[in-house]
Amino acid sequence: MTALVDRPHSTLTDYFEEAARIIDQAEEGARLELIDGKIWSKAVPDGDHGRIIQWLTRICMQHRPELWLDPSQGLKVQSYRGGRARPDGSLAPSDAFVGQGEWADPGPVLMVVEVTSHDSDTEKRVRVEKPRAYAETGIPLYLLIDREACEVTLYSEPDGGRYEDVHTVPYGKPLHLPDPVGITLETEALKDWVS
C-alpha cells in the first residue's frame, strides 16, 4: 500500500477513498461518506431499517423488473467537491454499476433512497447535506423514509443545488414516484417498522 503522503497531487477525495477502504477492512459495518467536503459516518443499519429497504426493493422489482434497488453501491456525487455517498438504495438499470468499483458514476441512477437511523447527525446529513449533494449531481428523485417523524418525503426536479419540488406524506398515505420511476408507494406497511 502506498503511503498517503507519498502521492503527488492527491486530493481530499483520494485521501477519503483510501481511508474509507482501510476503515471498512478494519471495522465490519463501517460506512463513511464524503459530502460537501465533510466526512460523515453512517450508522450501521438495524433490522427495521433493513426491512424497509427489503419492502421497497420488492415493490420496485414488481413494478420495474428491469431496475434494481442496490443497497450497497457508493456513488460519486458533487463533481466540483469530489463527494462520495452511500445511499441506502440506488435505483438504476440492473447492469448500471457493472465494472465500476466501489464509487460509481451516478448517471444511470433514477432515484436514491435514505432511511433515517437513530444517530446524532441524521438531521443535517439526510435532510440538508444529502438533498443538496444529490440535486447537484442531477439524480432525478431522492426518497427519504423518516422513521422518527413517520413520514416519507420525495424530492424531485433537481435544479443545480436543490430539488425544486418536495412532497411529504405521513405513513399510511400513498406517495407517487413520478417519471423516470413511475411507481405509487402504498406506505401503510411502514407503520410496522418505526422503532
CATH number (domain holding residue 117): 3.90.1570.10
Number of domains composing the chain:
1
* 21 is a domain residue: no
The 10s digit of each residue's pLDDT in 140-155 is 999 999 998 999 999 9
The helix/strand/coil state of 188 is helix
Q: Is residue 164 part of a domain?
A: yes
Q: In the 8-state DSSP scheme, what is residue 173?
A: S
98 phi and psi, to 5 degrees?
Answer: -60, 130
Burial 26-65 (b: 16+ CB within 10 A, else e): eeeeebbbbbbeeebebbebeeebebbbebbbebbeeebe
Domain hosting residue 114, numbered range = 44-193
Is 114 within the bounds of a domain?
A: yes
Mean residue pLDDT of the chain comes to 83
C-alpha cell at 175: 406517495
* Residues constituting the chain: 195
List the grid coordinates of 78: 458533487
Q: Does residue 8 fall inside a structural domain?
A: no
Q: How confident is the model at residue 6 (pLDDT cuts 50, 70, 90)?
A: very low
Does residue 5 belong to any structural domain of this protein? no
Q: CB of 98 within 8 A of CB of 124?
A: no
Which residue has better confidence, 137 or 45? 137
Q: What is the pTM of this model?
A: 0.79
